Amino acid sequence: MSLEQDESSWTEPKATALLVLADGTILQGIGFGATGHAVGEVCFNTAMTGYEEILTDPSYAGQIITFTFPHIGNVGTNEEDIETVNMAATPGARGVVLHSVITDPSNYRATRHLDQWLRARGIIGLSGLDTRALTALIRTNGMPNAVIAHEPSGKFDLDALRQEAREWPGLVGMDLVPMVTSGQRFTWDETPWEWGKGYGRQENPEFHVVAIDYGIKRNILRLLAGTGAKVTVVPAKTSAEDILAMKPDGVFLSNGPGDPAATGEYAVPVIRDVVASGTPTFGICLGHQMLGIALGGTTKKMHQGHHGANHPVKDMTTGKVEITSMNHGFAVDRDSLPGNVEQTHVSLFDGSNCGLALKDKPVFSVQYHPEASPGPRDSHYLFQRFAELMRAKKRA
């Protein structure tokens, strides 16, 4: 359906879902998933696979995802590919926009239709939209605030929806981590999935890693356990004193949603104390951004963000180019980094910062998602790099 349509023509076919942009533009389609309405920032994701992992990534809290790939839902859903750790928290994305109507699942691992799965998780869906046109709009104008609404009767209060979209303040200055972080400390020992075996258990850990949960994903925890670590996950507001009292061999700073500067008001002082202790530290996504702030840099809002599983990144320390999975709307301003911080990874799409490391301490981070869930496994080596830092620290 086109981006601009006269409201009086909404009779054939009957619109049961709307995407109402903050500028007043109304896009119509066919609703699925949960009913009701939700407000958020609209982004587009270019991944061709892994929609279940994407939709359960806590980093998408506060966002409405437009998939550029037209066929989403055709392999159904299952209980193994969920990335949310805190199942009682906000499920991640607030809404999803698709080009094509969801087909019946065709995959031996499927246990539920995507439509039923979305209903159970309270996520609103809209299909039948020209997602290419919406993506082009985002590339030109940036990620808009919008309300996604689904009402089977097709009756909507357009003025109220427009007002809600217009008045939502957006993600700048918004701390969303309290919506997704764990409420209490817990341990994790599940290791990565293997064909024919499923997930394993880490029974003989070499390291103890404390992971600060800003919205952590399950596959990150699995890969940490797979390096030989016993992982203790702690809530986002855990103090540096409590973290260091556990005598970790390493500290992990997780991914998460929202503005890193806002979350950083309480997280950055903790990160600074952890770094000052000399404990090996590894950050991903939001953890990377807040580490950049802790080391003296700043972050900035991106025009359209990076969302997909096909982003080329160059590792400046090895010269290797890897294809990565990304999900972020903020980035570290590389020009703001002080002299003791090295830029280790760069996006080959737009040259933005994708990694950093301290020159004098065992501390590093990346902007993208090396756990590859979804996405290629090119970046799994970073977990081994973290393990080597912990091993060297133990030897010293």
**Catalytic residue positions?**
285, 369, 371
For residues 364 and 284, the answer to whether their CB atoms sit within 8 Å is no
Q: Tokens at residue 172, please?
A: 């700048």
Nearest of 52, 44, 10, 55 to residue 29 by alpha carbon? 10
Angle between helices 260-276 and 286-294 (to 10 degrees): 60
Amino acid at 18: L
Tell me the C-alpha distance between 286 and 332, whole Å: 10
Tell me the C-alpha distance between 139 and 133, whole Å: 10
Of the CA atoms within 13 Å of residue 148, those in its CB half-sphere come to 31
Distances (CA, A) of 327 to 57, 106, 142: 9, 27, 15
Amino acid at 283: G
Q: Tokens at residue 339, please?
A: 């002299």
For residues 291 and 267, the answer to whether their CB atoms sit within 8 Å is no
